[in-house]
Structure 1
Amino acid sequence: MGLGSTAKKIQALSDRAEAMYRQVQELQQRITNLEEEVDDTHDTVSRMDHQLTEQRALLLAIADEHGLDGEEILAQAAIDEADELAAEDEGEADAADATTDESDEASEASVE
């Protein structure tokens, strides 16, 4: 009777080991696919960065042809964008503060 029970335990252990091995293989495949996707994304971003640099140079040259200071325009655009982001961050912070204040008031009310 002992050998039958041991054989069943060994078979169950073997089945679990095979299942885990399959999972490890699947994970390895997923990691390999992710690495390939990351490499592709890196190549795409590098290509886009190069194209953006070329476009910036072209726009600066066009602005210069028309007597405009392209660098000043870009600097002002960056300032405007930073101001907008700061305003959004303040809005989110105010909303978070309001939520925290409401939670604190609710907690105080439940304690009383």
Structure 2
Amino acid sequence: MGLGSTAKKIQGLSDRAEAMYKQVQQLQQRITNLEGEVDDTHDTVERIDHQLSEQRQLLLAIAEEQGIDGEQILAEAAIDEAELDEEPAADETDGDGDATTEPAETTQGE
């Protein structure tokens, strides 16, 4: 093997190493940017959660002024939501609300 082919191989390895180094730098920059975005998103979620809590307290206070039991309404809504989550989808039940186990019959070529 001559020095020329060895030099070409070393140059090829050097080029690939440089390209990989650039890719690693780009990945590091993307990760840094993503970390910043995650931090910003976390701050936004925290702020929205705080505002939601304030709004809930305000609505409960208004409901109380109007003689409405806001906690009872929230409890009923939570129960309704839980019941909806437990029900199977409409296409998974037969007419009685029971889950179907047989595939629907189809007719071919009429």
Residue aligning to 2:75: 75
Residue aligning to 2:86: 86
What is the correspondence of 1:25-36 to structure 2 with a 5 Å cutoff?
Answer: 25-36=25-36
Report the TM-score when normalising by structure 2: 0.79
Measured against aligned partners, the alpha-carbon deviations of 1:19-74 in whole angstroms (never above 9, x if no partner) come to: 10011011001101110110000000000000000000000000100111110001
Report the TM-score when normalising by structure 1: 0.78
- Which amino acid in the other structure matches residue 31 of structure 1? I
CA-atom RMSD, angstroms?
2.5
More helix by share: 1
Residue aligning to 1:52: 52
Q: How many angstroms apart in 2 are the aligned matches of 1:35 and 1:86?
A: 37
- Which amino acid in the other structure matches residue 86 of structure 2? A
What is the correspondence of 1:58-69 to structure 2 with a 5 Å cutoff?
Answer: 58-69=58-69
Gaps of 5+ in 2: 94-98, 104-110
Structure 1 outlier segments of 4+, above 3 Å? none
Q: How many angstroms apart in 1 are the aligned matches of 2:48 and 2:28?
A: 30
